[in-house]
Homo-oligomer: A and B are copies of this chain.
């Protein structure tokens, strides 16, 4: 997937700041993070892999600009913090979910062990906190509060996710709430962080919050579609049907279960049996599609992208900033 120009441009500003900030970790933890970020291989040798797309730190920089400030050095701590939190969540979730592949490589815990990966992920969050606390923005303490609240919400969302594992009944409402807590809250944090640090007025913050929250749900809905119908090159190396094989209660599944049809009953049975084979996964994939799960999740993603863009209409933004927000929003479209 080719990255939109706004991400390419932000990269040059973000990556050196990340490398410098993450360099403060102790050697044991740094090895894990350097590997996870795609900066070093499992043996500690430098590599150059395009690891993160940098959506969230770029949003933080754009938000500073949206608040009427040039996205200069003062915006960078916010960008570093949200990217630290994003990768903290990856490291912790991969351990908990037992996922073995991400970004076309083995996940960090496969290489360094579950304990070390958990420590490295947690250390990234703490590093983000410290980075904000030491920034020179007069609004840094408000930013730390936002950052902490966001992580607390994400943890509650992941707990909801774990609790839903292996459940044969998942309501759309519960699944959407989990998405809002677990992933949309981080997107919302990313897009408000820069504005908070820049001291943006409440009305600007509110519109950015709606943009971030809506886009976060769209990204997750798109991810959930890829988790069932995505090709390995779109999912960091995961086989199609991956989420169903793991019997994850994602949005397409929740929509299909809501139908109360014979197909929904069969899907419910599928979710109750651990360790399904490939044929069963293929059959479940059909059931989700037949139950409207694919279509309704795609509709949700599209409508949330539209909601995100609409939220920005009332803001007085420079043309290139608006274009940047639009380029990122487009990445949430199901057909992107």
Contact = CB atoms under 8 A, between A and B. Distances in A.
B130 A149 contact: yes
Chain A contact residues, majority secondary structure = helix
Interface in A118-152: 118-120, 122-123, 125-127, 129-130, 133-134, 141, 144-145, 148-149, 151-152
A55 B119 CA distance: 25
B118 A163 contact: no
Contact of A148 (B96, B133, B162): B133
A122 B149 CA distance: 13
B123 A148 contact: no
A122 B29 contact: no
Contacts of A156: 25-26, 28-29, 123
B162 A116 contact: yes
A5 interface: no
Contact of A160 (B26, B113, B133, B145): B26
Nearest to A153: B26
Contacts of A114: 96
Interface residues of A, number: 37
A29 B155 contact: yes
A119 B162 contact: yes
A92 interface: yes
24 contacts: A26-B156, A28-B156, A28-B163, A29-B159, A95-B118, A96-B114, A96-B118, A96-B119, A116-B162, A119-B162, A120-B159, A125-B126, A126-B148, A126-B152, A126-B155, A129-B129, A130-B145, A130-B148, A130-B149, A130-B152, A133-B144, A133-B148, A134-B145, A144-B144
A119 B96 CA distance: 10
Given A130-B148, A145-B133, A148-B129, A159 B119 contact: yes
Given A119-B158, A123-B156, 10 more contacts: A26-B156, A26-B160, A28-B156, A92-B118, A115-B162, A119-B159, A123-B152, A126-B148, A126-B151, A130-B148
Contacts of A160: 26, 28
A256 B123 CA distance: 33
A283 to B, nearest CB: 28
Interface string A1-41: 00000000000000000000000011011000000000000
Given A92-B122, A96-B118, A155-B126, A162 B113 contact: yes
A81 to B, nearest CB: 12
B155 A119 contact: yes
B155 A116 contact: no
